[in-house]
């Protein structure tokens, strides 16, 4: 199944269940065999979740596992507080693309009042 970001409707994926580090790590390893780095990007008045091309198992990856998990936890905390866990969970489970060197996979997060607090 292939989604364009503007075809996803957050109303279809409400989830009071927060995303947790172990769930996301398990999903990434199950889908791609490696643990890609996830980062939030704030650009103008939008927030994007990016799946980066670097991954924890990569010899040149700059973080150890503990630091990686702490960073991922901070990213997930924002996603959960913004009520986007179901939306992101669905994307992680269904996105067909795979990050390539120098090219992240990007998910625009829907903006609402909860997301506004993260955009300055």
The closest of 42, 27, 24, 37 to 63, measured between CA atoms, is 37
52-86 residue pLDDT tens: 999 999 999 999 999 999 999 999 999 998 889 99
d(CA 88, CA 10): 9
State the pLDDT at residue 110.
85
pTM: 0.80
- In order of start, what are the domains of the chain with their CATH numbers? 5-116 (3.30.428.40)
The closest of 106, 110, 87 to 18, measured between CA atoms, is 87
**Mean pLDDT computed over 18-22:** 97
What are the residues whose beta carbons fall under 8 Å from the beta carbon of 73, sequence distance 6 or more?
21
Tell me how far apart the 2 most distant CA atoms of the chain are, in Å.
40
């Amino acid at each position: 199944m292939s989604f364009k970001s503007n075809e996803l409707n957050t109303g279809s994926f409400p989830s009071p269940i927060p995303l947790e580090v172990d769930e996301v790590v398990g999903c990434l390893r199950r889908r791609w065999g490696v643990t890609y780095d996830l980062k939030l990007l704030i650009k103008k008045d939008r927030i994007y979740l990016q799946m980066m091309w670097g991954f924890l198992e990569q010899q040149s990856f700059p973080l150890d596992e503990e630091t990686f998990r702490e960073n991922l936890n901070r990213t997930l905390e924002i996603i959960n507080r913004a009520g986007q866990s179901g939306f992101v969970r669905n994307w992680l489970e269904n996105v067909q693309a795979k990050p390539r060197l120098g090219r992240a996979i990007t998910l625009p997060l829907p903006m609402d009042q909860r997301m506004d607090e993260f955009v300055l």
